[in-house]
Homo-oligomer: A and B are copies of this chain.
Amino acid sequence: MDTLQLLASNRSFGGWHRRYQHESEVNGCTMTFAVFMPPQASENNRVPVLYWLSGLTCTDENFMQKAGAQRIAAELGIAIVAPDTSPRGEGVANDEGYDLGQGAGFYVNATQAPWDRHYRMYDYVTSELPALVEANFPVNTRRSISGHSMGGHGALVCALKNSDRYLSASAFSPISHPSQTSWGQKALTAYLGDNQEDWVDYDASLLFRKVKDTDARMPVLVSQGLADEFLQEQLQPEALQEAAKAVDYPVTLELHEHYDHSYYFIASFIEQHLRFHSRVLHPSQ
A contacts, CB < 8 Å to B: 10-14, 17, 65-66, 68, 70-71, 225, 227, 256, 258-260, 262-265, 267-268, 271
Contacts and interface: CB of A to CB of B under 8 A. Distances in A.
Contacts of A265: 10-12
Contacts of A66: 65-66
A70 B264 CA distance: 9
Contacts of A271: 71
Contact of A11 (B12, B70, B227): B227
A8 to B, nearest CB: 9
A264 B11 contact: yes
A225 B10 CA distance: 11
Given A65-B65, A66-B65, A17 B264 contact: yes
Main secondary structure of the interface of A (DSSP, over half): mixed
A70 to B, nearest CB: 7
A251 B264 CA distance: 33
Contacts of A65: 65-66, 263
Contacts of A268: 11-14, 70-71
Given A71-B68, A267-B71, A258 B227 contact: no
Contacts of A71: 68, 267-268, 271
Nearest to A258: B11
A170 B264 CA distance: 25
Contacts of A10: 260, 262, 264-265
Contacts of A11: 225, 227, 256, 258-260, 264-265, 268
A236 B256 CA distance: 46
A252 to B, nearest CB: 20
A13 B259 CA distance: 9
